[in-house]
Amino acid sequence: MPSSTHRPLAISTDRRRFLTMAGAGTAAAAVRPVLGAVPAEATPASSSARRSVEVSSGWAFHLGKSADEAAWDEVDLPHTWNAFDAQDGGGDYYRGTGWYRRRVQVPAQLRGRELFLEFGGAGQVTEVYVNGALVGAHAGAFGRFRVEVTEALGSGGTVAVKVDNTSRPDVAPLAGDFNVYGGLYRGVRLIGTARSHLDLLDSGGSGVIIRQRSLTDALAVVEVTSRVVNPAGTDVVTRVIDRRGRTVATCTSPAAETVRQVVDISRPHRWDGPTDPYLYTLEVSVVREGKVLDAVAEPLGLRTIDIDANLGLLLNGRPHRIHGVNRHQDRADQGWAISREQTVEDFALMREMGVTAVRLAHYPQDGFVYALADRHGILLYSEVPYVGGVPSPPGSNDSPELTANLVAQAREMVRGLGNHPSVAWWGIGNELGDTTHVNANLAAIEETIKAEDPTRHTSYAHLSGFYPNESGVLDHADLSGYNRYDGWYAGTPADFGRWADALHAGDRARRLGITEYGAGASVLQHQEWPGVAGGLDTSAPHPEEYQAYHHSQLWPQIAARPYLWGSFVWAMFDFASDARHEGDAHGLNDKGLVTYDRSTCKAAFYYFRSAWTRTPTLRLVERGWTERTEAATTVHVFSNADEVTLRLNGRVVGTVAVENHTAAFPLTLRTGINRVIATAFSNGRRVTDEANWTL
């Protein structure tokens, strides 16, 4: 099968302008790629003796169970063997075994050190061999993991990696409306450390766990737990460094296998969302007689997050509006094998739209995502891949092996990613049934997460309207999340507010959020506003205008209910789901506000940009409906201006006040080409949009 290839980062004219513009308002001017400045994970401190080299290029790849066959292709990582067959529909993409092989020569600067191979992510069960000997294995598609190879690799050898994305009853996810891509879809590094070092085999973590114990304007108290391998004769030195490079707190303790230190930071500068995402650096070093043997640097953001059943989410004691979206980690023709530059572009699109929170559906994502969220002040909902919504194998939820795997993946998520201040919620599951075994698994995940991190809220995402509320699945986590599709799969958009108010009135203590809401849209299918809801009817169109209408009706209802602790559009980007066939596409869930290849922002994107930002915005909703057969039509314009003026074929049609970020103009088109131009003044700047429609 074809391997994944990376194209140069393609940014549209609008997107490039947003990435580079200056002086066009705070939201626009702040968005710039910061790839070089953002650490993807705990990074070796400059004083550390730790070294690493990338081994992500020059791999040989073979698709099949046996590694002895002659047919091998040359690939670079990230790579997946499902880049194309998992997006063409039919639900029949390859789920099986692939092999990677590479000669790894240990460079001089790493020789004589403890050696580890680090895998950013592999889908989904992995075995690692060095010179034919099995040296490690990992079960789970999403977490970073490491394998110790000091003796096996020596000064160099052949590394072979077997990866298998076969659906299994003992490894989550069991099911889900998305693809599980096979392969080494993130990078690989070879790390060399001193014999005494911070534990690299600590469930994918850095060996350092940071937990904020208290925070006031006068003092922050932070507990740092460090796990040290071969600690004899060493000390653990922890420093907190501010943005200007000044050490503001320090603590030294004799090393042990586990060292707990309490660090006080006077007059702390808070991490305060997009307006002020202030980050300290917390550096932990293993030191012997003044010499730094090993050290890592972690992000430290000081903030409080509270959730009130009536006031919603409070960031640093103040109500914080959640403008949330869901994000999968895939791209057209690449699957999960995406680059950091593309992740930067995704964040630029989300920030342009005014996003303040992202639910990482339905699994932990690359550490680079969390680092970007830290830097930009965006809250994250990070979820264990315990997913329902589509049938899972019969009896699979009662497997003790599955429970153990869910617990391991939950621990891996928290230890690997829990130092990031952007993480506000740990998700324990999504859209599962109400069996005894499902509840037992959710309880085990909840217990694991709370033992690892009692400082954050947990949440469960319930498929409202499909499973009964009394099933018990909502009783494990701190928070209740609901996936609602009023006006798409059933009912009308107006049903949402009535449902939410009745639920809130019936249980005032329950903290309610909306983990999913949305509607599909094809940029190639159009109808007069509002269009019709396509739902799961494979013969029905998914007109772009209906999605635009749908979100324009849902958001005002959400905004009017401050008791909701958050809401997340499903989804920010179209994503592949090979079993689907809807709208104009096979193998695609088209509920994204941006197309799968990121080339087109749909009309609804501009509704949210109008509602969520002060960036001057104006967009013709029907702009892409270029071929017309009826003269009578109504044009809709999304904007955050007070009023919009429309011209048709050079003549002013009128000026209309904007209500709910929408202006509407009835028109009669003439035969042939019609030029439509909308203009407005928003936030002191003239904005315009235009289209040519042929009748």
Catalytically active residues are: 431
Q: How far apart are CA 65 and CA 62, in angstroms?
A: 9
Is residue 585 a contact partner of residue 565, using CB atoms and an 8 Å limit? no
Residue that the structure tokens 């307006």 belong to? 275
* Phi, psi (deg, nearest 5) at residue 513: -140, 165
- Of the candidates 320, 298, 293, 289, the one whose C-alpha atom is nearest the C-alpha of residue 307 is 320
Q: Are 386 and 173 in contact (CB under 8 A)?
A: yes
The structure tokens 């650490």 sit at 39
The upper half-sphere exposure of residue 306, i.e. CA atoms within 13 Å in the direction of its Cβ, equals 12
Cα 171 to Cα 177, 366, 386, 406, distances in angstroms: 17, 19, 10, 8
Q: Please provide the DSSP assignment of 87-125 as one string.
A: GSSSS----SEEEEEEEEEPPGGGTTSEEEEEES--BSE
Region of 112 please: left (phi>0), alpha (psi -120 to 50) or beta: left
Amino acid identity of residue 101, one-letter, is R
Contact between 82 and 130 under an 8 Å Cβ cutoff? The reply is: no
Which SS3 state, helix, strand or coil, does residue 510 take?
coil
| CA torsion, ordered 23, 26, 27, 29, to nearest 10 deg | 30
* Nearby residues of 172 by Cβ (< 8 Å), 6 or more positions away: 140, 384, 385, 386, 387, 402, 405, 406, 409
- The tokens for 570 are 């499903």
For 7, phi then psi, to 5°, come to -90, 160
Tell me the C-alpha to C-alpha distance, in Å, between residue 398 and each of 111, 247, 402.
47, 51, 8
8 Å CB contact between 72 and 103? no
By the 10 Å C-beta count (0-12 exposed, 13-18 middle, 19+ buried), 199 is classed as: middle
Contacts of 547 (CB under 8 A, 6+ apart): 518, 519, 520, 521, 591, 602, 603, 604
Identify residue 472 by its one-letter amino acid code. Answer: G
541-576 burial string, b = 16+ CB within 10 Å, else e?
Answer: bbbbbbbbbbbbbbbebbeebebbbbbbbbbbbbbb
List phi, psi (to 5°) of 336: -80, -5
What tokens were used for 399?
A: 């497997």
Whether the bond between 261 and the residue before it is cis, its omega within 30 degrees of 0, is: no
Backbone φ and ψ for 91, nearest 5 degrees, come out as 65, 30
| Pairwise CA distance, residues 205 & 41, whole Å | 9
